[in-house]
Amino acid sequence: MSVTLESEVNLLPSEELSRLYDESLKPLQEGQIVQGRIIGMTATEILVDVGYKSEGSVALSEFDNAAALKVGDTVEVLLESVEDEEGLVVLSKWKAERAKGWERLMASAKEGDLLEGRVVRKVKGGLMVDVGGVEAFLPASQVFLRGFGNLDSLVGQTMNVIIIKVHKGRRNLVVSRREALLKEKEITRQKLLTELEIGQIRHGVVKNVTDFGAFISLGGVDGLLHITDMSWGRVGHPSEVVSVGQKLDVTVLGFDRETMKISLGLKQLTPNPWDEVEGRYPVSSRVKGKVVSLMPYGAFVHLDQGLEGLVHISELSWTKRPAHPSEVLQVGQEVECVVLSVDRENQKIALGIKQTESNPWEAFVKDHPAGSKLTGRVRHMTEYGAFVELTEGIDGLLHVQDLSWTRRYNHPSEILKKGQEIETVILSADPENRKIALSLKLLTEDPWTKMAERYPQGTFVEGAITKIAPFGLFVELEKDLDGLVHLSELPVRLPSHLRRGGRPAKGAQPEAGAETAAAAPEAITAFLETQFKVGDRVEARVLRVNEEERRIALSLKRS
């Protein structure tokens, strides 16, 4: 039988044999996924029979489990080309998997869907991400929430991405990690806002530090930790308490779900030290602390955790008058103070350093009561008087009115010099306010008690003009004693333009000074200086002596 069959076959024409061979081949198309059988293997590739007139080869590198492959195994591959330059079928295991993955992905996913992917490599302009067996392009601009980071550090990492563009014809997929992060952040934010409660303690990380506080990330939402809620004590700047990246627990003070504003507190996690401050620091008690800050108005002293007191600049010393606390204290210095007052409601403690020593003003005043004579040195002068140093750190004020019984001075420098030693008399003393009033004229007897006897009304006196003023002339009667000749008592008339009421009536001859001057004082003085000179000697008549006002009125008129 076999011989007969073989004879029959051999008798078939060659055209018929070619037709039967072609019919035994599978109808294959490029891009088609087919099943093939491994018929051979080398160190780098395998030979696969896909039922076509020639076999195809596939690189071993396309298989994840290449070591487990053997001849006879069935594999699924994609037919890239029915024949290459060597007449072999071009196959791809990797492209077959990608094609099947694309079909599966398109059947279940669309733009806007959240997927998980693994970064396989960095490419120009971004990253390639394996999403369910399909490589998707992740642009660099869509990797991070802000700016651009290190793309190389993400290779090999698994991350969530969102499909932002699909090109079905080219089987191209574009994804965004940034959109996925924003979506996750929003989900976390909404979840957190539903869980928040006032008084709740949350764990956070310092995200940013500003002059007024710090923003704390609570995981999806940020809250503000204001500078006033950082510590029970004084905080100069938030950076003294927190730093960027620091992890810490905070308590929720308040929140608004609509505006998503959350206020946080740090000091509220510890007891308020001000609640028992009055019992711990009673008034007049002595305390020790460390100088933590110097301001123009005083020094802040740290007493305990969250408790600071202020030593005002006026409470630093009994005798010194520093322009700035730094002249007496320095930051970090340990000091002893006396508690002057405690205000628990406003969280203020007033301290004093000078109170730790006896008040030298009290001892000085006790030893030098009013009426005492003592010598001092002129330390400083102002328009209203001179400050005289009586002993180290204790000054008295010698007012210009207390310089002389008889002469009026505009400035103490007219008879005193800085550094000059003078004898004075204490008029009054106020040790509490550190004030001592001095007098120079009390060193001599008051001449005004007998001035009317010495200069009776109507008598004539002679003296030199010492000063010309808008209201008249000063005439020296004796040393340090002047009399005043008023404008109305001068023997000359003011020009009409210097008198109130304008020009005098035609033919009228008003007396000089009879009108009230209306012109500028400088103009009147200038006119008088054309009629009189300082140093001119004149004879005047005494009009009256006013002992109460300590004035002598004179006249240059003869009648």
Q: Confidence class of residue 252 from pLDDT cuts 50, 70 and 90?
A: very high
Nearest-angstrom CA–CA distance, 49 and 73: 11
Question: Is the pLDDT assigned to residue 382 strictly greater than 90?
Answer: yes
Question: Is the pLDDT assigned to residue 324 strictly greater than 80?
Answer: yes
Question: Is the pLDDT assigned to residue 149 strictly greater than 50?
Answer: yes
Give per-residue pLDDT as tens, 337-363.
Answer: 999 999 988 889 999 999 998 888 888
Phi/psi at 210 (nearest 5 deg)? -120, 180
Nearest-angstrom CA–CA distance, 70 and 65: 11
Mean pLDDT across the chain, nearest whole number?
83
Q: Confidence class of residue 49 from pLDDT cuts 50, 70 and 90?
A: confident
Q: Burial letters for 110-131: b for 16+ Cβ neighbours within 10 Å, e otherwise?
A: eeeeebebebeeeeeebbbbbb
Instruction: Please report, rounded to a whole number, the percentage of residues in the chain having pLDDT higher than 90.
Output: 35
Give per-residue pLDDT as tens, 197-247.
Answer: 888 899 999 999 999 999 999 877 889 999 999 988 778 899 999 999 999
pTM of the predicted structure, to 2 decimals: 0.45
Q: How far is CA 388 from the centre of its chain?
A: 44
Are 487 and 514 in contact, with CB atoms under 8 Å apart? no
What is the pLDDT at residue 104? 65
What is the pLDDT at residue 135? 80
Burial status of residue 94 (CB atoms within 10 A of its CB: 0-12, 13-18, 19 or more): middle
Query: What average pLDDT does this structure show over 283-297?
Result: 93
What is the pLDDT at residue 273? 87
Give per-residue pLDDT as tens, 92-137.
Answer: 676 766 766 666 666 666 777 788 889 989 999 899 888 877 788 8
Report the run of H or E that residue 18 belongs to, with start and end.
Answer: helix 14-24
Coil, strand or helix: which one is 108? helix
Give per-residue pLDDT as tens, 385-433.
Answer: 999 999 888 899 999 988 888 878 889 998 999 999 999 999 999 888 8
What is the pLDDT at residue 1? 34
Domains in the chain (CATH in brackets) are 24-107 (2.40.50.140), 109-182 (2.40.50.140), 196-269 (2.40.50.140), 273-355 (2.40.50.140), 360-443 (2.40.50.140), 447-555 (2.40.50.140)
Nearest-angstrom CA–CA distance, 98 and 521: 107
What is the pLDDT at residue 505? 42
What is the pLDDT at residue 208? 93
